[in-house]
């Protein structure tokens, strides 16, 4: 069995007595003091996640924008320097190779943040496409994942202390992190190192994601906790990251997304521009015109039940119509919820269904995403 990888922050997780698990080949903290407590810390104060297992791929060169236009589903040309967008990388059949974030950090340089389990596949495919699209002389694709680490600082109290982490103005557009609007990125100096600070996240809360060289990530983590100690900041593991993203209806690769699921089936049509060419477009155009057999929707349990889990079957009037892709007991809603692939034509918001949990059937209702809103 291959040895699990560890992030530069692993000694800190050990010191905090974190419970660690195998996540995509990485030994990552699932929780420190309990998933619910960490979930509530992010919703009500501030939580810090080690996301150094994520990959960082740089795409640069005179035709970098053109290359990403021909490669990804979203329109990279819409990005000004300092802007970011969610996008998808598809195979030739329209299946999702990965979902990722694209940050334009210079006119001819883009930073792609990709899923941990997909780094090698993404990098290999991008290298192949550079050659296939005859861009290899004007586009460079570099995997910097081994040299960079990342943390996510999320929650309503983060804005009270994040600016004090850095003493100098941003190098792209803003003076301080809290000047960044949603989906904006800038570069700040910390311990003489460039740190990418983005107003993005995977929790549904305000917050930032920071990408820094391995050499300074521990100091950066400690600095954040020193400044945030009076604002309720807590370390948070992947367990809380999962319940937080599930409440928002955010997809997880391997659950809602894989190479046999198209973005349309996953309910991500908003992030596809069918007016431009990209790998897999023909299949997606066909699906849009002719329909598809299933769609991913949210659901909320309507009575007390054990937590729904991935793989549990969904029924209407005794007939199987789908399966749960992700499920949990929502700490914010106090009830079971999740996402499921539902066969057409049953994939309708408001439709009553039953989910088989062990030997019993529990009622639920299909829902729009997100399933949780701050005002609920």
Predicted confidence band at 136 (pLDDT cuts at 50, 70, 90)?
confident
Contact criterion met (CB below 8 Å) for 225 and 236: no
Q: Write down the pLDDT at residue 89.
A: 98
Among 157, 183, 220, residue whose Cα is nearest residue 8: 220
**Helix (H) and strand (E) counts in the chain:** 7, 19
Whole-number Å distance between alpha carbons of 258 and 147: 27
Contact criterion met (CB below 8 Å) for 110 and 64: yes
Whole-number Å distance between alpha carbons of 117 and 319: 35
How would DSSP label each residue in 213-226?
Answer: EHHHHHHHHHHHHH
- pLDDT, one tens digit per residue, over 165-214 is 998 999 999 999 999 999 999 999 999 999 999 999 999 999 999 999 99
- Average pLDDT of the residues in 259-277: 98
Q: Which domains does the chain have, with CATH numbers?
A: 10-52+147-245 (3.30.1360.120), 55-143 (3.30.70.1400), 293-369 (2.40.30.110)
Kindly give, in sequence order, each residue whose CB lies less than 8 Å from that of residue 148, ignoring residues fewer than 6 positions away.
52, 56, 211, 212, 213, 214
Whole-number Å distance between alpha carbons of 288 and 292: 8
- 39 membership: H or E segment, kind and range: helix 35-44
Cβ atoms within 10 A of the Cβ of 50, count?
27
- pLDDT, one tens digit per residue, over 276-295 is 999 999 999 999 999 999 99
Can you read off the two tokens belonging to residue 78? 């819409």
Q: Write down the pLDDT at residue 1.
A: 65
Q: Write down the pLDDT at residue 369.
A: 97
- pLDDT, one tens digit per residue, over 36-52 is 999 999 999 999 999 99
- pLDDT, one tens digit per residue, over 222-257 is 999 999 999 999 999 999 999 999 999 999 999 999
- pLDDT, one tens digit per residue, over 17-42 is 999 999 989 999 999 999 999 999 99
Q: Write down the pLDDT at residue 12.
A: 98
Whole-number Å distance between alpha carbons of 341 and 260: 13
Q: Write down the pLDDT at residue 376.
A: 53
Burial 148-183 (b: 16+ CB within 10 A, else e): bbbbbbbbbbbebbbbebbeeebebbbebbeebeeb
- pLDDT, one tens digit per residue, over 86-134 is 999 999 999 999 999 999 999 999 999 999 999 999 999 999 999 999 9
Can you read off the two tokens belonging to residue 292? 């598809």
């Amino acid at each position: 069995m291959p040895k699990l990888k560890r992030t530069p922050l692993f000694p800190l997780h050990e010191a905090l007595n974190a419970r660690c698990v195998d996540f995509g080949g990485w030994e990552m903290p699932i929780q420190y003091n309990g998933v619910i407590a960490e979930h509530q810390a992010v919703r009500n104060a501030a939580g810090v996640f080690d996301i150094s297992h994520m990959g960082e791929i740089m795409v640069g060169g005179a035709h970098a924008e053109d290359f990403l236009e021909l490669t990804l589903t979203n329109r990279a040309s819409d990005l000004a320097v300092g802007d970011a967008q969610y996008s998808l990388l598809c195979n030739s059949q329209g299946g999702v190779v990965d979902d990722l974030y694209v940050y334009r950090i210079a006119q001819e340089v883009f930073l792609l943040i990709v899923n941990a389990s997909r780094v090698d596949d993404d990098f290999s495919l991008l290298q192949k496409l550079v050659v296939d699209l005859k861009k290899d002389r004007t586009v460079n694709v570099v995997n910097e994942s081994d040299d960079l680490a990342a943390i996510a600082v999320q929650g309503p109290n983060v804005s009270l202390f994040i600016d004090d982490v850095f003493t100098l103005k941003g190098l792209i557009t803003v003076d301080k992190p809290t000047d960044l609007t949603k989906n904006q990125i800038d570069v700040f100096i910390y311990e003489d190192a460039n740190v990418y600070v983005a107003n993005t996240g995977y929790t549904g809360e305000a917050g930032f994601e920071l990408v820094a060289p391995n050499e300074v990530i521990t100091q950066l983590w400690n600095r954040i906790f020193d400044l945030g100690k009076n604002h309720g900041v807590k370390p948070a593991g992947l367990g809380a990251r999962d319940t937080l993203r599930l409440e928002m209806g955010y997809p997880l690769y391997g659950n809602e997304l894989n190479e046999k699921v198209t973005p349309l089936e996953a309910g991500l049509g908003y992030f596809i521009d069918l007016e431009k060419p990209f790998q897999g477009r023909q299949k997606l155009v066909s699906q849009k015109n002719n329909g598809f057999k299933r769609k991913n929707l949210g659901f909320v349990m309507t009575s007390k039940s054990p937590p729904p889990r991935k793989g549990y079957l969904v029924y209407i009037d005794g007939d199987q119509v789908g399966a749960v892709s992700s499920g949990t007991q929502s700490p914010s809603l106090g009830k079971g919820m999740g996402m499921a692939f539902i066969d057409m034509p049953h994939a309708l918001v408001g439709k009553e269904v039953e989910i088989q949990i062990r030997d019993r059937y529990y009622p639920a209702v299909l829902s729009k995403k997100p399933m949780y809103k701050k005002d609920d």
